[in-house]
Amino acid sequence: MTLEELRNNSVFPVGGENVNYAKYFIGTSYLNMISMEQVVIGNVTFEPGCRNNWHIHHADKAGGQMLLVTAGSGWYQEWGKEPQKLQPGDVVHIPANVKHWHGASADSAFQHLAIEVSGENCSTEWCEPVSDEEYGKLK
């Protein structure tokens, strides 16, 4: 799926380029905050090949992140584990304090809703990029 196909079929608006987090991504992503109240939810769209760096959603208690996949094809991987292919309808529960990355497939745009799970002393630590070598091994 191309970015334009995804954009034209997106239930929630794709929003503008995700410039504030661009330094933590390879490729271009788009962010539209669809809720800033009660539960914070962002609609994140990735062009084909775009992925975020390895990162950790820290929390002393609860916290973490949930991904609800809404379009395209992508990946989720936890440090030391096999990558998981993602398709629309998939739900990913990312525990706090687990190093991971998420992003598009090489040949398709990708979109997920990212839900911030509330917790105590939450912060996100951004780590190294997912290298072309690592990413290129995904099938």
What secondary structure, in 3-state letters, does 71-124 show?
Answer: EECEEEEECCCCCEEECCCCEEEECCCCCEEEEEECCECEEEEEEECCEECCEE
Q: What is the DSSP letter of 54?
A: P
65 or 77, CB closer to Mn ion?
65
Rounded least distance, CB 67 to Mn ion, Å? 7
Going by DSSP bridges, is the β-strand pair 25-26/91-94 parallel, antiparallel, or unpaired?
Answer: unpaired
Cα(106)–Cα(104) distance, integer angstroms = 6
10 or 65, CB closer to Mn ion?
65
Rounded least distance, CB 8 to Mn ion, Å? 26
Q: Which residue is nearest to Mn ion (CB)?
A: 65
Interactions with Mn ion, residue window 55-94 (CB under 5 A): 65
Tally the C-alpha atoms within 13 A of residue 1's C-alpha that lie toward its C-beta. 23
# of chain residues touching Mn ion (CB under 5 A)? 1
107 or 125, CB closer to Mn ion?
125
Rounded least distance, CB 48 to Mn ion, Å? 19
45 or 65, CB closer to Mn ion?
65
Rounded least distance, CB 4 to Mn ion, Å? 26
Rounded least distance, CB 65 to Mn ion, Å? 5
Residue 99 sits at the vertex; the CA angle it makes with 43 and 34, to the nearest 5 degrees, is 15
14 or 102, CB closer to Mn ion?
102
Binding region for Mn ion (CB under 5 A): 65
